[in-house]
Chain A
């Protein structure tokens, strides 16, 4: 399996740690990031193949990040899976142009299934 990179952005460190831990056996390279302001730079620098994105984050929210990405031809088609505990998350994510939405707390199989779907 080619070594694909997943950028995970969530302001909660517990979730970042957990995702990193449960995804490391899958063979993907995980780039965890707590601060949504760094996403732009990380994308340019690391060229991730997929982004797992939280919605409610301080300063720059997930949907704001998503809208910026969708406006840029370089990242327009980059798979972005939004993960949120917010009830309105699905709607917000869809409107901002998310590839998929997974609600927190998520099911491991569903997460892996969705990731695989977008990486293959």
Chain B
């Protein structure tokens, strides 16, 4: 008992039995499992265990005493912790290991084992004290944490890959599109340029990216219209679409470009960067021009023989003897009508092509609006004996516009009024001046147009379903009228009731400088 006296307890010889009992109660009160092994005996058997050790291991004292500690490892012998233990036992040093142990019922628990040697005066290890704590909960938490970390890492890796994929995908799209794309920073320095830009403008990435837009290619991008777009227009009109810029580039020549500009408004690292899409429409315009030229020539060439035919028909009509049969006169009359229709079709074909390409040329000059209407109506009246066309009202305005185009509209509206009201005999043309507009209305008392079709009659190639059989046509007459009126900054509209008739009206603005007709 000498050794015990070295401790903090001040045991007396009289009380040692009582004191020892106190000490072992203290050990039993510990929540850590505590064992003592005897290193002087073969295989270092356990000679003491406290209650906590019984609880942790699930074995009872009589099943523990006399065993080597390894019985707790069951068949799980490959652990690294074991070799650390073995080494400590051999060298007689202390150590701490986390080791997988198994309870009596076979359940695994993580044992945090602190092992410390006890030595005699000669330095020989006589005993080992083992203190054990069941750290399964902590181990599990650690493991869960590690698993979560692993999973998080995996997700991050996947996301990163996805992002990289996405970026590569987007970038491949940007590089593939047949449109030049530039990204500019807020000060108009080039952040990036796609392949098509580099190819079209014959530059390389090094001399483009990081440079100021206006400095590119020896200042060839220092274009006043482009500056206007970026400095004056874009800040207040975002995005800007279809902004046309024409420029003569030193090396690649004259280019007609259609620009779309978009300033990033989203907060973040891209804010105020400018995306500039540049479409080279030089070739397209050239093709359109050639098509218009071709159609122009074709229509001229088609009209030449038509002129001859019409001339002969008119000659025949004049030469026809008074006593010639009705059938003869009807045939001549019908031939004239169809020649006229062919003439209209040829003209419309050319008009549509030009309207589509925006190449319709207006030759504006002042003209007497009322006289123009009266003359047009007279010409139609002479050919339409069945109908009476009544002109009412006056505007008294000399209008600034392309008279031949406005005549075309009047002709079209009045001809339609006759064409689509075959069973009525009156067409009313009403001229008026309202505020700073002239207004013309053409009213017929014919078949009318359904509400649904009213919205579509000004569309190109629209034909109301029920009239195609009776009144063949291409469906471009009203489309052309609408475009002509729009080209004169006016409005064309229709009011109609099915079965009762229609009124087509247009207004044209009277500009300052348009003189009142004398």
Interface residues of A (CB under 8 A from B): 12, 14-15, 17-19, 21-22, 56, 85-88, 90-91, 104-108
* B139 CB-CB contact with A under 8 Å: no
A86 to B404, CA, bound (A): 12
Residues of B contacting A104 in the complex (Cβ-Cβ under 8 angstroms): 303-304, 306-307
A86 to B361, CA, bound (A): 13
Interface flags for B144-183 (1: CB within 8 Å of A; 0: not) read 0000000000000000000000000000000000000000
Say whether, besides A14-B305, A15-B307, A15-B308, A108 and B315 are in contact (CB < 8 Å): yes
Say whether, besides A15-B308, A105-B307, A22 and B314 are in contact (CB < 8 Å): yes
* B235 CB-CB contact with A under 8 Å: no
* B312 CB-CB contact with A under 8 Å: yes
Closest 5 CB pairs of A and B: A85-B303, A105-B310, A105-B307, A108-B314, A18-B311
Min CB gap B21→A, angstroms: 127
Which of B310, B311, B339, B361 has the largest count of A CB atoms less than 10 A from its CB?
B311
Assess whether A105 is in contact with B303, with CB atoms less than 8 Å apart. Answer: yes
A107 to B313, CA, bound (A): 11
Assess whether A87 is in contact with B350, with CB atoms less than 8 Å apart. Answer: yes
* B299 CB-CB contact with A under 8 Å: yes
Interchain CB contact (< 8 A) of A90 among B308, B379, B404: B404
Supply 19 further A-B pairs (C-beta < 8 A) apart from A15-B307, A90-B363, A106-B311.
A12-B304, A12-B308, A15-B304, A18-B312, A18-B315, A19-B311, A22-B314, A56-B300, A85-B299, A85-B300, A85-B303, A86-B296, A87-B347, A87-B350, A104-B303, A105-B306, A105-B309, A105-B343, A107-B379
Min CB gap A58→B, angstroms: 13
Residues of A contacting B314 in the complex (Cβ-Cβ under 8 angstroms): 22, 107-108
Min CB gap B365→A, angstroms: 9
Assess whether A85 is in contact with B311, with CB atoms less than 8 Å apart. Answer: no
- 22 A-B pairs with CB atoms under 8 Å apart are A12-B304, A15-B307, A15-B311, A18-B308, A18-B311, A18-B315, A22-B311, A56-B300, A85-B300, A85-B304, A86-B296, A86-B300, A87-B296, A87-B347, A87-B404, A104-B306, A104-B307, A105-B307, A105-B311, A107-B314, A108-B311, A108-B315
Residues of A contacting B322 in the complex (Cβ-Cβ under 8 angstroms): none
Assess whether B307 is in contact with A85, with CB atoms less than 8 Å apart. Answer: yes
A15 to B307, CA, bound (A): 7
Question: Chain A: which residue is nearest B317 at the CB level?
Answer: A108
A105 to B439, CA, bound (A): 30
Question: Chain B: which residue is nearest A16 at the CB level?
Answer: B308
Interface size class of B (residues with CB under 8 A): 20 to 34
A12 to B311, CA, bound (A): 14
Interface residues of B (CB under 8 A from A): 296, 299-300, 303-312, 314-315, 318, 339, 343, 347, 350, 361, 363, 379, 404
Residues of B contacting A22 in the complex (Cβ-Cβ under 8 angstroms): 311-312, 314-315
Residues of A contacting B350 in the complex (Cβ-Cβ under 8 angstroms): 87
Residues of A contacting B307 in the complex (Cβ-Cβ under 8 angstroms): 15, 18, 85, 104-106
Question: Chain A: which residue is nearest B303 at the CB level?
Answer: A85
A85 to B309, CA, bound (A): 14
Residues of A contacting B309 in the complex (Cβ-Cβ under 8 angstroms): 105
Residues of A contacting B303 in the complex (Cβ-Cβ under 8 angstroms): 85, 104-105
A104 to B303, CA, bound (A): 7
Residues of B contacting A18 in the complex (Cβ-Cβ under 8 angstroms): 307-308, 311-312, 315
A17 to B312, CA, bound (A): 10
A106 to B305, CA, bound (A): 12
Residues of A contacting B312 in the complex (Cβ-Cβ under 8 angstroms): 18, 21-22
A91 to B361, CA, bound (A): 11
Question: Chain A: which residue is nearest B312 at the CB level?
Answer: A18
Residues of A contacting B343 in the complex (Cβ-Cβ under 8 angstroms): 105
Interchain CB contact (< 8 A) of A88 among B311, B361, B379: B361
Say whether, besides A15-B307, A85-B304, A105-B303, A21 and B361 are in contact (CB < 8 Å): no
A106 to B339, CA, bound (A): 12
A107 to B340, CA, bound (A): 11
A17 to B350, CA, bound (A): 28
A15 to B339, CA, bound (A): 16
A56 to B343, CA, bound (A): 18
Residues of B contacting A87 in the complex (Cβ-Cβ under 8 angstroms): 296, 347, 350, 404
Assess whether B304 is in contact with A21, with CB atoms less than 8 Å apart. Answer: no
Residues of A contacting B304 in the complex (Cβ-Cβ under 8 angstroms): 12, 14-15, 85, 104
A88 to B296, CA, bound (A): 10
A85 to B310, CA, bound (A): 13
Min CB gap A103→B, angstroms: 8
Question: Chain A: which residue is nearest B339 at the CB level?
Answer: A105
